[in-house]
Copies of this chain bind each other. A is one copy, B any other.
Amino acid sequence: MTRMNGQWRLAQRPVGMVKESDFELIEEPVRELVDGELLVRNLYLAFEPAMRGWLDDVKSYIPPVQIGEVMRASTVGQIVESKNAEFEAGQLVSGMLGWQQYVLTDGTPGPFGGLSKVPDGIPPQRMLSALGGTGLTAYFGMTEIHPVVAGDNVLVSGAAGATGSVAAQIARIKGAGKVVGIAGGPEKCAWLVSDAKLDAAIDYKNENVGRRIREEFPKGVDLYFDNVGGEILDSVFLGMAERGRITMCGGISAYNEKELPPGPRNLMQTVIKRLSIRGFILFDHLAEAGQAIANLSEWTESGELIVEEDIQEGFENTPKTFLRLFEGKNLGKQLIKIADVE
């Protein structure tokens, strides 16, 4: 049986807002396996705002995706054939396998890691959400970069997104005094309070963010977990408490700008309020991922941590689904399902 492998490759570098036509769909046959190889069929592809940064030809923490290359992405798949003693057909695995239907590999880790077996009893897509890159990012941000201290007044932006929603809930689990999330639109904000059990939500599309921060935090914000940058970050600077901490996780507001927009006018609040600002990248913390996944699993199983997954369907819709992140459409982790477990 010759299988055809659909691949979404980078066709051209996006200028400004990424669009579907920046990618092209190619089909090619999957060759026969040789000894030591295995074939993975992707089931779910994961999308993250940071992937937008991988498309620009600039020096960053990892090299850019090259034109003509399969788009880099985390996925969960199932081994459909194996000539490798370490992997059996049927096994579910996760890895950076990209926007494609099949991956033929000898199982040795590439520059972005190898294959991880999905533990029994865990829904495979969970490996891409709470137990995947975005969940782990939230975890290390809230426990290592600027750990939540009991009683902290915590604010999280992008709070209905995959990282923000986990970060905000970890703050609650770790004993924050108050946790408020910033998100776009009434639906997301309602979810933050009713499902994620935050103390309040701020709708940046319909409310004055600065005023709402002052209302919710009359004594100021002790810990701000920032996923968006831009104007929201600027407003937050004015609402920080003395000796407050800002954990900078990302800045989705500028990822699709042709030129970098100006930064926060209120950055000098860092001096006046003696703030600490720290940025981080998940890749630096992967050695501790085992313990993090154990904690995150425990919280999701106990129901303390609610995980929302926005699962689109159909491999042909892959680039369109990526764009949902920048249109603010996703609630929770943006995934696409492209095949069923067999």
Contact = CB atoms under 8 A, between A and B. Distances in A.
A271 B251 contact: yes
Interface string A244-270: 000011110010000111111111111
Nearest to A61: B272
B263 A234 contact: yes
Interface stretch (A149-157, A164-172, A277-285): A277-285
A282 to B, nearest CB: 11
Given A276-B278, A277-B276, A248 B263 contact: no
A279 B251 CA distance: 21
A184 interface: no
A60 B272 contact: yes
A60 B272 CA distance: 6
A144 B53 CA distance: 35
Contact of A261 (B265, B270, B275): B265
A274 interface: yes
A272 B280 CA distance: 7
A234 B275 CA distance: 19
Nearest to A62: B272
6 contacts: A248-B271, A262-B263, A268-B279, A270-B278, A271-B279, A274-B279
